[in-house]
Structure 1
């Protein structure tokens, strides 16, 4: 255990978090003011804290000092003296590390884990010493702090909505010796503070990790200060509000590196329109996918969206990089962390615009497929399906004769079953994902429901094929009877043949095969819950095989399956009989009877 780790543990045994934070913050202020490190009374300690001034950040310092004074008001002088005396040989830099560590545990219920994301974002941003840098959702530490530690003269501006985080961010910045930084408190979507002469200040680089899927502040959007949200109407979630704000904060040749979850890369509706406008304006240079569980508080995968207003020789193109590669990250206690190899390899591939099977590809903007999801453009070289690993022959896959699913079937959405619809006297039976196992529907478990309007649009017909598209993906089952009163639930779709060239049983077997599961995995999106969007479902590729060959394949398979099932049943019987002979040697049947 390092000295810092020992100090963290010792600190946590002193007081609760607010008091520990106040004591350490006060001691840091005293150090910054060159006050003595040993205090004989509580009054001396408070006086040393209050003596610190910073005219440039007067309001932040004022609120920090008031907070320290208020929190320590009821702490006994001898108890305070004992703690401050324990810190007398501890450097200011070690103290700020302790403060960050206990803050991490307090606010995020976890430890202080380095995952390599900050370093990668800085390398991708290619920050020069003379660049101005903005983080409009800074937290109390991040890439901006790493940059200040490397160059205390870097011109950095940050904004953070939480007052307590602002105080911690200020202390972090000051301990690096930085003086060329601005720090603001407030909601950046509603009221960006980095304003000069009534105009939004612009920066060479924006490096930020905004909150994931935060509910949108509609008032901020309606005000639209500085016309920042000009790429389209932002939906219920604020992801593209933060992205639009970052773009609006860039200089004419600026670059932004923004950490986002999967959702903003594939969601349709208004989000899809904004994404298309960014493509049309040629602002997206790269998308880099990273592993999930890079944070204790968020298990969703993270991506880096690289916005570049000056793409030089790369105009009209987008690079996709799959950073989720063996040896590029490691599992470190509770999180996945990028290794130095991973950071360097990703940076090299990005800088040199390298294309490599299973890792990186470059497309023209015209080849954009309504999604920025990396795996829609990069085919893996290997895949594991049902615990079996398969190598993917990309050449054979691409030269095969295939058609999209929507050329063969109509895709019908299921009914949204709620508790309000479910009733024992319900006229209809709802099939849920959980009711499907091994290509069969458990009729005994189906819920009775009522459908208030237009129930006929949901009723299933003979030869309809059910496919689960949310949660547990890829479950399939056939409807084998006419005139049913059954409907699919909202997490299922019904596939109904519109072509004479498809045998629906053959399609069922294909979708449940390793090949079909591979196609489904490539179509999958989602953060917390896996889903297949309607557009991705329509584009699932199906091999072109004559209807006669499909019919023959299904008939031959099912006839052989009946014979093999019977042989298997006989072998299982013989296996049990063989066991019974062994058990007879100790006369088990006289004690235990079936």
Structure 2
């Protein structure tokens, strides 16, 4: 059954008349629909006839007050709905005519329970597509929910979502249990009261009034405890808010439930706090699927320490990279982190990495989603432990590099688009077997760029010039256009100074810029967007630059980029880039020959351009228009 046109009409009417948000519109529609839905269960909840849409419509006038009164009475008869209609003041913002139309149209629906469920799910999907950024933190795409739940392979027990949002994940777990004829008890907690209320109503339409859905902060006040310990669950799936700052840091560091034993939490991001909360909420043989960003999988500092301890405990079973732009209103890439306290014998000490970045379909305006065949393929790879070239691979915990859990670290695509060559296929084994290969750190000294602060004033006669990203064009540093600065904190200024012949590489942003520092006067620094390399005496800087600009050099650099919103190159990754180092005299000879050939090509291009211009002037002479203009530059 297709409901989009009806839902579009409802939403447009509510938003145009009352100028209310998408979430408010959904709250209004779902609240009214719940009254009609409960008419199918009048006997179960002992609902009198006056608690119905028909009874409200018979009155005609003062509909907003009557709707509120009915909703309040329903809460008294249906304990599961206690507190969900607190936002019924929204009805007062609608005209009597609009509210009458909405009530009468929903009253006319003669749906079965299954049809009501489909209608409500269509409403949440439609609202998610409209909400954009507003709905990101509350809505997990249906395909991601289905994938995560199928990875859990539930066989009955207790399921928990500690960041339940609009209860989409809980409803997906309920649907899985229904289709697989198993009993699964549902538990969830949500801090946003509006989302909690809508989540409860959504569960109502799934006939899951037995679900336990609590209000509150999962991190500071977890709702499900047994004595002084967290309640344990068989299965967990969570899509928690990304990068949320921890406000109650000291409270969490003195956690009475002892959840954070795997390392000290960072203040700036609660990602690891949610992950460790989920882990502490698992039974001894439990499994969790957590939606995480790329940053959660590779960031350093305290988060790296926690990942190291999780690896040592062999709790990570799989990391699945999903396509970017799956979340409405956000172009970031997400991953599924699978934690398992009871790995099978053949998976112990290993992590299954799956690169599903290219498994998606597209809707209007570039919206991506997981198709059924994408979900089926990923589920099969995970459960069957399939290893497919460039798609999936088991990696020993001992082989994890620098506690980096990004899938593309271990599953490199062999085909990349490299400008100006177009699509290029690479052969990693051939690269490893190149003669005289050395890691970049062995042929040069590395140094970082300076982070210019607001205290460092740009002045015309400042003692230091700074190379910024915009100062490198077409592989050259535009020395004459560098801005001068007064650097207030110059205690370590010497470490940022460039020398003639240094190679600088941009490490932030999609495009990678490479240049050799030319002869210059005065003190020049590189900004924090660059890393500098001072080649050893047996390495020609232009030879190094040409290699890094080559298709294979670009492949090696681009494949090491990481980042959620802004891609970056880590110094450690850069240090380990393999470089084929030929004898110094041979390097110089290769570069001299190359530069001479490039100069010859440029001279030929200038000559051809001159011929093109002369040909055009001859044409204008024949057309009789040459005398109408004079070229000011020859």
Distance change >3 Å, CA 78–CA 349, structure 1 → 2: closer
The corresponding residue for 2:91 is 72
Distance change >3 Å, CA 76–CA 539, structure 1 → 2: same
Deviation for aligned residue 1:254? 1.0
Deviation for aligned residue 1:144? 2.0
Would you say the 8 A contact 2:253–2:265 is kept in 1? no
**For residues 56 and 210 of structure 1, what CA distance do their matches in structure 2 show?**
29
Would you say the 8 A contact 1:290–1:323 is kept in 2? yes
Deviation for aligned residue 1:94? 5.7
Q: Does 1:316 align with 2:349?
A: yes
Deviation for aligned residue 1:472? 4.5
Deviation for aligned residue 1:157? 0.7
**For residues 602 and 127 of structure 2, what CA distance do their matches in structure 1 show?**
61
The corresponding residue for 1:123 is 150
Give the secondary-structure state (helix, strand or coil) at the position aligned to 2:466: strand
**For residues 182 and 54 of structure 1, what CA distance do their matches in structure 2 show?**
18
Would you say the 8 A contact 1:12–1:102 is kept in 2? no
Distance change >3 Å, CA 254–CA 347, structure 1 → 2: same
Deviation for aligned residue 1:78? 5.4
**For residues 355 and 3 of structure 1, what CA distance do their matches in structure 2 show?**
41
The corresponding residue for 1:539 is 576
Deviation for aligned residue 1:80? 3.0
Distance change >3 Å, CA 278–CA 563, structure 1 → 2: same
Would you say the 8 A contact 2:253–2:264 is kept in 1? no
Would you say the 8 A contact 1:287–1:320 is kept in 2? yes
The corresponding residue for 1:340 is 372
The corresponding residue for 1:584 is 621
Q: Does 1:96 align with 2:120?
A: yes
Would you say the 8 A contact 1:12–1:20 is kept in 2? no
The corresponding residue for 1:412 is 447
Q: Does 1:434 align with 2:470?
A: yes
The corresponding residue for 1:526 is 563
Distance change >3 Å, CA 203–CA 114, structure 1 → 2: closer
**For residues 208 and 614 of structure 2, what CA distance do their matches in structure 1 show?**
81
Distance change >3 Å, CA 345–CA 83, structure 1 → 2: closer
Task: Identify unmatched segments of 5+ residues in structure 2.
Answer: 43-50
Q: Once the two structures are superposed, what CA deviation does each residue of 1:222-265 show, in whole Å capped at 9, x if it has no partner?
A: 33231111111122111111111111111111111111111011
Q: How does 1:112-191 map to 2 (within 5 A)?
A: 116-128=143-155, 130-151=156-177, 153-191=183-221
Distance change >3 Å, CA 347–CA 167, structure 1 → 2: same
Q: Does 1:22 align with 2:17?
A: no
Within the candidate set 423, 426, 431, 1:397 is matched to 431
Within the candidate set 502, 506, 509, 1:468 is matched to 506
Would you say the 8 A contact 1:27–1:49 is kept in 2? no
Deviation for aligned residue 1:19? 6.5
Would you say the 8 A contact 2:439–2:578 is kept in 1? yes
Distance change >3 Å, CA 345–CA 73, structure 1 → 2: closer
Deviation for aligned residue 1:20? 6.4
Distance change >3 Å, CA 9–CA 243, structure 1 → 2: same
**For residues 418 and 132 of structure 2, what CA distance do their matches in structure 1 show?**
39
**For residues 468 and 19 of structure 1, what CA distance do their matches in structure 2 show?**
47
Q: How does 1:226-241 map to 2 (within 5 A)?
A: 226-235=257-266, 236-241=268-273
The corresponding residue for 2:47 is none
Q: How does 1:186-585 map to 2 (within 5 A)?
A: 186-217=216-247, 218-235=249-266, 236-312=268-344, 313-325=346-358, 328-334=359-365, 335-370=367-402, 371-386=404-419, 388-401=422-435, 402-421=437-456, 422-452=458-488, 453-454=490-491, 455-481=493-519, 484-497=522-535, 499-585=536-622
The corresponding residue for 1:52 is 74
Q: Once the two structures are superposed, what CA deviation does each residue of 1:518-539 show, in whole Å capped at 9, x if it has no partner?
A: 0111110011111011221222
Distance change >3 Å, CA 225–CA 581, structure 1 → 2: farther
Deviation for aligned residue 1:56? 8.7
Q: Once the two structures are superposed, what CA deviation does each residue of 1:67-92 show, in whole Å capped at 9, x if it has no partner?
A: 32x33356565553332112112244
Distance change >3 Å, CA 431–CA 298, structure 1 → 2: same
Within the candidate set 31, 41, 55, 2:37 is matched to 31
**For residues 563 and 495 of structure 1, what CA distance do their matches in structure 2 show?**
30
Deviation for aligned residue 1:221? 2.3
Give the secondary-structure state (helix, strand or coil) at the position aligned to 1:122: helix
Would you say the 8 A contact 2:294–2:406 is kept in 1? yes
Give the secondary-structure state (helix, strand or coil) at the position aligned to 1:351: helix
Give the secondary-structure state (helix, strand or coil) at the position aligned to 1:302: strand
Deviation for aligned residue 1:558? 1.1
Structure-2-length-normalised TM-score: 0.87
The corresponding residue for 1:63 is 83
Give the secondary-structure state (helix, strand or coil) at the position aligned to 1:124: helix
**For residues 330 and 311 of structure 1, what CA distance do their matches in structure 2 show?**
32
Would you say the 8 A contact 2:36–2:106 is kept in 1? no
Would you say the 8 A contact 1:461–1:484 is kept in 2? no
Distance change >3 Å, CA 162–CA 559, structure 1 → 2: same
Task: Identify unmatched segments of 5+ residues in structure 1.
Answer: none
Distance change >3 Å, CA 79–CA 576, structure 1 → 2: closer
**For residues 518 and 168 of structure 1, what CA distance do their matches in structure 2 show?**
47
Query: Quick check: 528-537 or 114-123, which moved more?
Result: 114-123
Distance change >3 Å, CA 37–CA 420, structure 1 → 2: same
Q: Once the two structures are superposed, what CA deviation does each residue of 1:276-314 show, in whole Å capped at 9, x if it has no partner?
A: 111111111111111111122211111111111111121
Give the secondary-structure state (helix, strand or coil) at the position aligned to 1:410: strand
Distance change >3 Å, CA 176–CA 544, structure 1 → 2: same
Would you say the 8 A contact 2:132–2:329 is kept in 1? no
Would you say the 8 A contact 1:190–1:219 is kept in 2? no
CA RMSD of aligned residues (A): 2.5
**For residues 82 and 330 of structure 1, what CA distance do their matches in structure 2 show?**
37
**For residues 612 and 188 of structure 2, what CA distance do their matches in structure 1 show?**
71
Deviation for aligned residue 1:332? 1.4
